[in-house]
């Protein structure tokens, strides 16, 4: 009796189980559904992608390569940003190509960012490296770091200009014109107005007034300021290997003009400068007072620096005494106050750099004070008779005018040379155009996922739906329906 009950229980378990053969039979009986439903899902995905493509406007894209801009800086050291192409002056000049007005809608339709077309190839290269087997966490981190560094380095060599011409109501051809005009306007404005091609040190070396007659104090002080600017400009040009070989209108380079400037100072200007203090007017007296005040201010600054140097030396001496161990030759002894000693050593190292910096600053201040003191001493020299010699003054005016004009031509040559060395700031990598891709990005992945989803849904329905009965004929020739087990 018990054995029969066990056999019945086993039979019930076997009847409740679904065999693999039954699953295959069910799927085969619904093979039409397994074909139609995935195809239907695939068609729906294609329709959705086409709808997205039609409803989404494709902007005008223009890639340019940057020239003369290294590490996000112009040749003169000024910081460069892609947003420089979107300043009002650049937008106004670019919009003038199509007679457009610059408003919020226009500004929001233009985007400029770092980017070049080769970034996709870099990404694929590093994806292949990361797919290698046996990579450790350190290897993965190193590869990712190299990828970011190379991507940043390559991306900063070019710009991606995107213009939503549809939003502006423009044709694709007009969007291409606007995309080409934008970097051209940026290059023209920044090279002509902001002088980013020439060293910023030359910004304060241009000559405003080149004609003086040395008739009064104001002329003499104006000439003094002009000669100081010429001196600074010649030093900058002579220290630049790309510019030091340039010559001016008369064939003189920066070294020649430095020699001429020194000769003019020794023969003419120092004599004239000291002469006008013989019978000083209000301007001369004010100049002497102002110069003396500058000397006093520089002296106070030097005294503050000297106090700082004294404090630093005192601190370093105390730190050295605390670190020295009695009776030994060790310079540092680590004990209970180890952290404090390490902090003292760190402060000592940082103070060494600071000390070197303020010593250089003190030297510059002392040099400037000495130059001002020399001018004060020169004003006490009695050269009154020089100002009464018309021939001497006429010759000085002619020499001064020639020197300044030659310097001006040399300065213009330096700026033109910088422009020729770098050319334009950009070089087109391709013609501006609209992305005419028939399907949106990752369309193939979407189609594959839709096909897989259709197959899974079809298999689920095939297993859930009841099995259709099969018609079988008995021996008497009558038809009877036998449900399939």
Domain ends where: 396, 423, 450? 423
Name every residue whose Cβ is closer than 8 Å to that of residue 60 and which is 6 or more positions away in sequence: 162, 163, 164, 165, 172, 175, 176, 178, 179, 432, 433, 434
Q: Do 92 and 148 fall into the same domain?
A: yes
Q: Do 143 and 161 fall into the same domain?
A: yes
The residue ranking higher by pLDDT, 19 or 385, is: 19
Task: Report pLDDT digits (tens) over 210-226.
Answer: 677 777 777 888 888 88
The pLDDT confidence band at residue 385, using thresholds 50, 70 and 90, is low
Domain ends where: 390, 423, 456? 423
* Host H or E run for residue 87: none
**Which of the listed ranges 334-348, 365-379, 420-434 does the model predict with the highest average pLDDT?**
365-379
Mean pLDDT lowest among 73-82, 180-189, 461-470: 461-470
DSSP letter string, 347-405: HHHHHHHHHHHHHHHHHHHHHHHHHHHHHHHHHTS--GGGGG-HHHHHHHHHHHHHHHH
Q: Is the pLDDT of residue 129 over 50?
A: yes
pLDDT the model gives residue 480: 47
Q: Do 225 and 333 fall into the same domain?
A: no
Pick from 439, 466, 422, 434: nearest CA to 191: 422
Q: Which domain holds residue 247?
A: 205-278+382-423
pLDDT the model gives residue 307: 87
Share of the chain above pLDDT 90, in %: 13
Tokens of 393: 């003054």
Query: Is 184 contained in some domain?
Result: yes
Query: Is 451 contained in some domain?
Result: no
Q: What is the mean pLDDT of the chain?
A: 78
pLDDT the model gives residue 441: 61
Q: CA-to-CA distance for 295 and 246, rounded, in angstroms?
A: 37
CB 221 within 8 A of CB 371: no
Q: Do 369 and 233 fall into the same domain?
A: no
For residue 102, what are the CA distances in angstroms to 105, 170, 196? 8, 14, 25
Q: Do 163 and 309 fall into the same domain?
A: no
Q: Is the pLDDT of residue 87 over 50?
A: yes
Q: How many CB atoms lie within 10 A of CB 400?
A: 22
Q: Do 94 and 117 fall into the same domain?
A: yes
Q: Is the pLDDT of residue 73 over 90?
A: no
Q: Is the pLDDT of residue 318 over 60?
A: no
φ, ψ for residue 111, nearest 5 deg: -135, 135
pLDDT the model gives residue 325: 46
Query: Is 12 contained in some domain?
Result: no
Contacts 24+ apart (CB under 8 A), 462-465: 462/26, 462/27, 462/29, 462/30, 462/33, 462/34, 463/23, 463/26, 463/27, 465/30
The pLDDT confidence band at residue 154, using thresholds 50, 70 and 90, is confident
Q: Is the pLDDT of residue 204 over 80?
A: no
Q: What is the DSSP letter of 194?
A: S
Adjacent-strand bridge partners of 299: none
Q: How many CB atoms lie within 10 A of CB 435?
A: 9
Query: Is 255 contained in some domain?
Result: yes
Tokens of 295: 């000397």
Share of the chain above pLDDT 70, in %: 75
Mean pLDDT lowest among 144-148, 177-181, 436-440: 436-440
Q: CA-to-CA distance for 242 and 199, rounded, in angstroms?
A: 12
Query: Is 371 contained in some domain?
Result: yes
The pLDDT confidence band at residue 418, using thresholds 50, 70 and 90, is low
Adjacent-strand bridge partners of 73: 79
Q: CA-to-CA distance for 404 and 257, rounded, in angstroms?
A: 10
Instruction: Return the residue matching tokens 């590490």.
Output: 71
Q: CA-to-CA distance for 194 and 15, rounded, in angstroms?
A: 89
The pLDDT confidence band at residue 107, using thresholds 50, 70 and 90, is very high
Q: Do 295 and 326 fall into the same domain?
A: yes
Q: Is the pLDDT of residue 317 over 70?
A: no
Q: CA-to-CA distance for 90 and 184, rounded, in angstroms?
A: 9
pLDDT the model gives residue 482: 44
Query: Is 270 contained in some domain?
Result: yes
The pLDDT confidence band at residue 327, using thresholds 50, 70 and 90, is very low
pLDDT the model gives residue 300: 92
Q: Do 80 and 177 fall into the same domain?
A: yes
pLDDT the model gives residue 476: 46
Q: How many CB atoms lie within 10 A of CB 218?
A: 11
Q: Is the pLDDT of residue 176 over 60?
A: yes
For residue 389, what are the CA distances in angstroms to 102, 378, 394, 406? 62, 20, 9, 26
Q: Do 115 and 188 fall into the same domain?
A: yes
Q: Do 109 and 154 fall into the same domain?
A: yes
Q: Is the pLDDT of residue 419 over 50?
A: yes
Query: Is 387 contained in some domain?
Result: yes
Q: Do 231 and 166 fall into the same domain?
A: no
Mean pLDDT over 306-318 rounds to 73
For the whole model, what pTM was predicted? 0.50
3-state class (DSSP) for residue 454: helix
Q: How many CB atoms lie within 10 A of CB 248?
A: 20
pLDDT the model gives residue 309: 81
pLDDT the model gives residue 415: 73
Q: Do 392 and 299 fall into the same domain?
A: no
pLDDT the model gives residue 92: 93
Query: Is 463 contained in some domain?
Result: no
Domain total in the chain = 3
């Amino acid at each position: 009796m018990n054995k029969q009950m066990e056999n019945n229980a086993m039979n019930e378990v076997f009847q409740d189980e679904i065999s693999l053969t039954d699953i295959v039979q069910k799927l085969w009986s619904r093979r039409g559904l397994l074909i139609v439903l995935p195809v239907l899902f695939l068609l729906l995905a294609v329709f959705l992608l086409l709808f997205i493509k039609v409803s989404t406007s494709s902007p005008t894209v223009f890639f340019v390569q940057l020239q003369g801009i290294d590490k996000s800086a112009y040749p003169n050291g000024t910081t460069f940003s892609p947003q420089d192409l979107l300043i009002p002056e650049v937008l106004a000049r670019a919009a003038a190509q199509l007679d457009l007005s610059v408003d919020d809608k226009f500004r929001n339709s233009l985007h400029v960012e770092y980017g070049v077309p080769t970034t996709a190839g870099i990404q694929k290269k590093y994806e292949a490296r990361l797919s290698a087997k046996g990579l450790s966490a350190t290897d993965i981190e190193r590869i990712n770091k190299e990828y970011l560094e190379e991507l940043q380095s390559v991306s900063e060599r070019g710009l991606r200009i995107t213009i939503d011409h549809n939003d502006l109501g423009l044709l694709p051809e007009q969007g291409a014109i606007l995309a080409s005009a934008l970097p051209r306007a940026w290059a023209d404005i920044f090279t002509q107005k902001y002088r980013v091609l020439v060293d910023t040190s030359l910004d304060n070396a241009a000559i405003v007034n080149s004609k003086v007659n040395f008739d009064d104090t104001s002329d003499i002080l104006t000439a003094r300021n002009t000669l100081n600017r010429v001196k600074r400009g010649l030093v900058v040009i002579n220290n630049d290997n790309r510019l030091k070989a340039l010559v001016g209108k008369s064939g003189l380079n920066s070294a020649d003009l430095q020699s001429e400037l020194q000769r003019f100072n020794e023969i003419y200007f120092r004599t004239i400068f000291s002469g006008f203090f013989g019978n000083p007017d209000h301007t001369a007296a004010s100049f002497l007072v102002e110069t003396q005040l500058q000397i006093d201010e520089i002296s106070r600054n030097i005294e503050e620096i000297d106090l700082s140097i004294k404090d630093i030396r005192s601190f370093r001496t105390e730190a050295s005494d605390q670190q020295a161990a009695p009776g030994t030759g060790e310079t540092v002894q680590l004990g209970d106050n180890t952290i404090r000693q390490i902090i003292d050593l760190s402060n000592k190292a940082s103070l060494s750099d600071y000390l070197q910096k303020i010593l250089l600053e003190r030297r510059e201040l002392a040099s400037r004070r000495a130059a001002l003191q020399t001018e004060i001493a020169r004003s006490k020299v009695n050269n009154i008779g020089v100002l009464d010699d018309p021939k001497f003054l006429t010759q000085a005016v002619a020499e001064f005018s020639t020197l300044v004009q030659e310097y001006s031509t040399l300065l213009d040559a330096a700026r033109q040379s910088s422009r020729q060395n770098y050319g334009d700031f950009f070089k087109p990598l391709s013609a501006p155009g609209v992305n005419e891709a028939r399907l949106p990005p990752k369309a193939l992945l979407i189609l594959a996922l839709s096909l897989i989803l259709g197959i899974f849904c079809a298999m689920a329905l095939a297993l859930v739906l009841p099995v259709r009965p099969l018609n079988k004929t008995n021996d008497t020739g009558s038809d009877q329906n036998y449900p399939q087990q």
